[in-house]
Amino acid sequence: MRLNRPSARPALLAVAAVAALAACSSGTSPAPGASPSTSAPTVVASPSPTASATPDVPVVVAPAECDAVSLAPGATVTGADLSACVIGFSLAAGSGHEHVQSGDSTAEVDFVFSDAPAMTGTMVDADGTTSFVLTQDRSWITIDGRWVEGDVTSSDSEKVLAGTVGTAYRTLADPAVSAGMIAMSPTYTVQPDQDVIDLVNGGEVHAWRLQSDAPFSMAGVDMQELIVWLADGHVVVGTQGTGTFGGVQTTTVQQFTDWGVPVVVEPPVG
């Protein structure tokens, strides 16, 4: 079965609600734009790849956490085991690239996944393009073409906006948040055949589709469906979740590529 990249109409309120709940369940706490600290260190990924299948793209070996996740057609996998596999693989890779589509908003993100997570990228929506840089406790976004550091405690409305938007972007694009949401579904079933996923970089990959077995609810958000795609070797390819919050349905798609390719996140200049 060939799957083209799906599109969905907007409803970022629902996305934010689902992502925030997932963050709580996964034990992550997307930090709001905190007050500026005395230093802003460069964050560099520390991936643990083993070999190169193609130039500049390492092969990441799935960790032991993925041993409990069978990719045999028809197999049942618990949400807890699948979540642990996604987190374990992300940590083993240490970095990667993510494409996010939620309604009419699209993001391209390079991320570091470690004890000091960080990401940098752009978000495109009806209001235009916003660039962002997020570290574990600081956030910067562009407003009218200028970099503004977030600080939700500031009396400066632009800094408050930068902090609030930075938090939303971090929540939407953080692989740990995705893993937290995956754990909320009790079980998944591996579908009979691999899907062919068209990648945003022009390539394609064959991946097993693990689909949630039933709708589930979490604090007012009704999830109709959650899908996780894993390629052979438990390589995390992407997710797709459809949920309803406040009567508005939203579909959010994440696609991961370039696992283990080094990423450097630096505070913006200017």
**Which pLDDT band holds residue 102 (cuts at 50, 70, 90)?**
confident
Looking at the DSSP assignment, which residues form a beta bridge with residue 264? 44
Domain positions in the chain: 1-28+63-92+177-259
Whether the per-residue pLDDT at 33 is higher than 60: the answer is no
Length of the chain: 270
Considering the chain, what is the average pLDDT of its residues?
A: 80
Residues whose CB falls within 8 Å of the CB of residue 202, separated by 6 or more in sequence, listed in order? none
pLDDT at 6: 27
Average pLDDT over residues 172-186: 82
**120 near 45, Cβ under 8 Å?**
no
Output the CA torsion 104→107→113→118 (10° steps): -120
pLDDT at 104: 85
**Which pLDDT band holds residue 216 (cuts at 50, 70, 90)?**
confident
CA gap 177, 184 in Å, rounded: 11
pLDDT at 250: 87
Average pLDDT over residues 227-235: 97
Whether the per-residue pLDDT at 124 is higher than 60: the answer is yes
Provide, rounded to the nearest whole percent, the portion of the chain with pLDDT above 70. Answer: 77
What is the separation of C-alpha 250 from the centre of its chain, rounded to a whole number of angstroms? 16
Collapsing DSSP states into helix, strand and coil, what is residue 171?
Answer: helix
pLDDT at 219: 62
pLDDT at 270: 65
Whether the per-residue pLDDT at 16 is higher than 90: the answer is no
Q: Lowest-pLDDT range, 44-58, 93-107, 253-267?
A: 44-58
pLDDT at 238: 95
Average pLDDT over residues 87-108: 92
For the whole prediction, is pTM greater than 0.95? no
Whether the per-residue pLDDT at 54 is higher than 90: the answer is no
Residues whose CB falls within 8 Å of the CB of residue 102, separated by 6 or more in sequence, listed in order? 8, 10, 12, 15, 172, 250, 251, 252, 253
Average pLDDT over residues 137-147: 93
**66 near 89, Cβ under 8 Å?**
yes
Tokens of 182: 């995956």
Residue with tokens 């604090």: 219
Kind of pairing between the strands at 221-231 and 235-245: antiparallel
Residues whose CB falls within 8 Å of the CB of residue 131, separated by 6 or more in sequence, listed in order? 121, 122, 141, 142, 147, 268
Residues whose CB falls within 8 Å of the CB of residue 155, separated by 6 or more in sequence, listed in order? none
